[in-house]
């Protein structure tokens, strides 16, 4: 078996890595397609699933771990540098205000699109009584853990989120219970401290974090070299582990509604970027596509954050003072794809149970889905946990979670793409309004590799 793994990884990726001139998003895309094909091939063998789980999936896990590993140092390095470069606290609060308001606006647009589509297409009508019973009995067990998690969240007091913002221990915040908002809080606080120090006292620390940041960006370049392999392993594992496909068909109309909404949202981003910054759709998509593909493969905006930050600042021209501030906050609080999905899912479940939702109830969904998406963690399946709260608020049976469970993972992959694209869009809009949207300055691995060959010692 180990030999087979070596053969698999050496056949295609070696050639992919060798294709230095091919754009990164093509390499990742090829890795994804090969991963899906390989998974589909392996399910035909009795030993296929075990083989993929034992010998292929771990490489996907290593890849995600490496991305997550880099997230905390990246936020610390780039945010401390970014905030201290602002030189003025009032600029920071102005940018913070703009960021949060723009995030809220895009989220409300997303929820409204979701509600509109689900009311027009009425996917819940396609679920017959017998399919509903089958889905509920098949997946009731699997959804228990989501309900449990949601219950824990609900039991917390109203100011818990605020209290959670301030860590009592920065090592703890960035360690075991990795809390991005706490790390962001610390970095901004530290950056403000630096602004307030006299220039000559602050300079050594600023210089340190600026170089620290450069090192982290270089590490991301290195991790990205492994991206085609990583997504290959992730998607192959996903295919062999995916549940029975029979019930997918029953949920086709629902899935179509969600995906259509997400696609509309992407086109709205493209329009917004063009209207506010003049960046052409092709250039925007080309710049952000590797992050989108990773979002799709990992289902986690947190794991994708390092790549989103790199793409936005180096390929879309957003200056680091803005990207280092807007993107980590966005990865944690701005989830337009998730909120759109929650709106569609909630109404779909109500329709499938034959419930009529009043306009008031639907407006309630706009409010709770917006808040729930802010509260959702940027990890796979988080949207489903917060959906429980949206359902409870609207008086829709929680048992309905079992109805949509079978297709949650593929939809999670799609909504994460939207979450990441939304963050990138808002960072461009904020950068433009602050006069900090410049020309892209690509600092690609390939370039560094080439320059290293010319001048040894410089990577
Ligand atoms: N997976 C999503 C994200 O990380 C969250 C969710 O919708 O479940 O952005």
Which numbered atom of ligand 1 lies nearest the CA of 338? 7
Are residues 370 and 111 in contact, defined by beta-carbon separation less than 8 angstroms? yes
Say if ligand 1 is within 6 A of residue 228 CB. Answer: no
- Ligand 1: which of 68, 412, 417 to mutate, most ligand atoms within 8 Å of CB? 412
Q: How many CB atoms lie within 10 A of CB 441?
A: 10
Pocket test for ligand 1, best of 334, 344, 419, 422 (most atoms within 8 A of CB): 419
**Distance in Å, CA 405 to ligand 1 centroid:** 15
Distance from the alpha carbon of residue 328 to the mean position of ligand 1, in angstroms: 14
> What is the whole-number distance in angstroms between the Cα of residue 160 and the centre of ligand 1?
21
- Return the pLDDT at 442: 66
Q: How far is the CA of 108 from the centre of ligand 1 (A)?
A: 17
Span from the CA of 370 to the centroid of ligand 1 (angstroms): 14
Ligand 1: which of 379, 387, 390, 414 to mutate, most ligand atoms within 8 Å of CB? 379
Q: Is 330 in the pocket of ligand 1 (CB under 6 A)?
A: no
Distance 352 CA to ligand 1 centre (A): 24
**Ligand 1 atom index nearest CA of 378:** 4
pLDDT of residue 454: 40
Closest among 176, 231, 214 to 62, alpha carbons compared: 231
Q: What angle do CA 228, 341, 333 make, to 5 degrees?
A: 75
The per-residue DSSP string of 234-277 comes to HHHHHHHHPPPSGGGGGGHHHHHHHHHHHHHHHHHHHHHHHHHH
- pLDDT value of position 277: 95
Kindly state if the Cβ of 410 falls inside 6 Å of ligand 1.
no
| 3-state secondary structure (DSSP) of residue 318 | strand
- Tell me what pLDDT residue 453 has: 40
Residues 256, 120: contact at Cβ < 8 Å?
no
Mean pLDDT of the chain: 86
Ligand 1, from 339, 372, 382, 414: best to mutate by most atoms within 8 Å of Cβ?
Answer: 382
Nearest residue to 212 via CA among 105, 312, 324: 324
What is the per-residue pLDDT for 384? 85
Residue of the CA atom closest to atom 7 of ligand 1:
383
Sign of CA pseudo-dihedral 248, 299, 351, 385: positive
Ligand 1 atom closest to the Cα of residue 341 is: 7
Distance 335 CA to ligand 1 centre (A): 7
> Best of 149, 335, 343 to mutate for ligand 1, by most ligand atoms within 8 A of CB?
335
Using CA atoms, how far apart are residues 334 and 311, in angstroms rounded to an integer?
18
Helices and strands in the chain, H and E counts: 22, 0
Distance between CA atoms of 294 and 228, rounded to whole angstroms?
A: 10
How far away, in angstroms, is 40 Cα from ligand 1 center? Answer: 25
For the residues of 370-398, what is the DSSP string, one character each?
HHHHHHS-SSTTHHHHHHHHHHHHHT--G
What distance in angstroms lies between residue 102's CA and the mean position of ligand 1's atoms? Answer: 19
Residue 405 confidence (pLDDT): 84
The whole-number pLDDT of residue 176 equals 63
95 vs 41: CA distance, rounded Å: 50
Buried b (16+ CB within 10 A) or exposed e, 216-241: bbebbbebbbbbbbbbbbbbbbbbbe
Bridge partners, residue 318, by sequence:
437
* Mutation to probe ligand 1, out of 146, 178, 304, 337 (largest number of atoms < 8 A from CB): 337
The list of the chain residues with pLDDT below 70 reads 1-21, 153-155, 157-158, 176-178, 243-248, 442-459
In short, whether 375's Cβ falls inside 6 Å of ligand 1 is no
Whether 305 lines ligand 1, by a CB cut-off of 6 Å, is no
User: How far does residue 325's CA lie from ligand 1's centre (Å)?
Assistant: 20
């Amino acid at each position: 078996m180990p030999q087979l793994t070596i053969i698999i990884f050496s056949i295609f990726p070696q050639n992919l890595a060798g294709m230095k001139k091919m754009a990164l998003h093509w390499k990742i895309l090829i890795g994804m397609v090969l991963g899906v094909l390989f998974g589909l091939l392996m399910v035909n063998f009795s030993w296929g699933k075990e083989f993929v789980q034992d010998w292929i999936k771990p490489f996907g896990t290593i890849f995600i771990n490496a991305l997550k590993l880099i997230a905390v140092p990246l936020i610390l390095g780039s945010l401390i540098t970014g905030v201290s470069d602002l030189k003025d606290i009032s600029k920071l609060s102005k940018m913070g205000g703009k960021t949060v308001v723009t995030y809220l606006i895009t989220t409300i647009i997303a929820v409204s699109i979701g509600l509109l589509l689900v009311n027009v297409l009425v996917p819940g009508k396609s679920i017959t009584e017998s399919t509903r019973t089958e889905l509920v009995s098949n997946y009731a067990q699997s959804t228990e853990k989501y309900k449990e998690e949601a219950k824990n969240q609900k039991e917390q007091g109203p100011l818990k989120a605020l209290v959670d913002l301030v860590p009592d221990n920065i090592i703890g915040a960035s360690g075991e219970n990795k809390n991005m908002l706490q790390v962001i809080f610390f970095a901004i606080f530290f950056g403000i401290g630096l602004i307030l120090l006299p220039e000559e006292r602050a300079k050594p620390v600023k210089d340190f974090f600026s170089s620290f940041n450069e090192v982290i960006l270089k590490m991301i370049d290195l991790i990205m070299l492994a991206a085609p392999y990583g997504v290959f392993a992730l998607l192959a594992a996903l295919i062999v582990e995916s549940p029975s496909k029979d019930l997918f068909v029953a949920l086709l109309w629902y899935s179509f509604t969600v995906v259509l909404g997400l696609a509309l949202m992407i086109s709205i981003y493209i329009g917004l970027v063009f209207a506010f910054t003049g960046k052409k759709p092709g250039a925007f998509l080309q710049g952000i596509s590797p992050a989108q593909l990773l979002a799709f493969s990992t289902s986690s905006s947190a794991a994708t954050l390092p790549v989103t930050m790199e793409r936005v600042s180096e390929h879309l021209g957003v200056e680091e003072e803005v990207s280092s501030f807007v993107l980590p906050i966005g990865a944690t609080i701005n989830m337009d794809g998730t909120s759109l999905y929650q709106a569609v899912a909630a109404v779909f479940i109500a329709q499938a149970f034959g419930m009529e939702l009043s306009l008031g109830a639907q407006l309630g969904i706009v409010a709770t889905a917006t808040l729930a998406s802010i509260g959702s963690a940027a990890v796979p399946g988080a949207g489903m946990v917060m959906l429980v709260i949206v359902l409870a608020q609207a008086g829709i049976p929680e048992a309905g979670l079992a109805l949509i469970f079978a297709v949650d993972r593929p939809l999670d992959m799609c909504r994460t793409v939207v979450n990441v694209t939304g963050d990138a869009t808002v960072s461009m809009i904020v950068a433009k309004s602050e006069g900090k949207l410049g020309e892209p300055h690509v600092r690609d691995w390939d370039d560094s590799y080439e320059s290293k060959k010319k001048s040894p010692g410089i990577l």
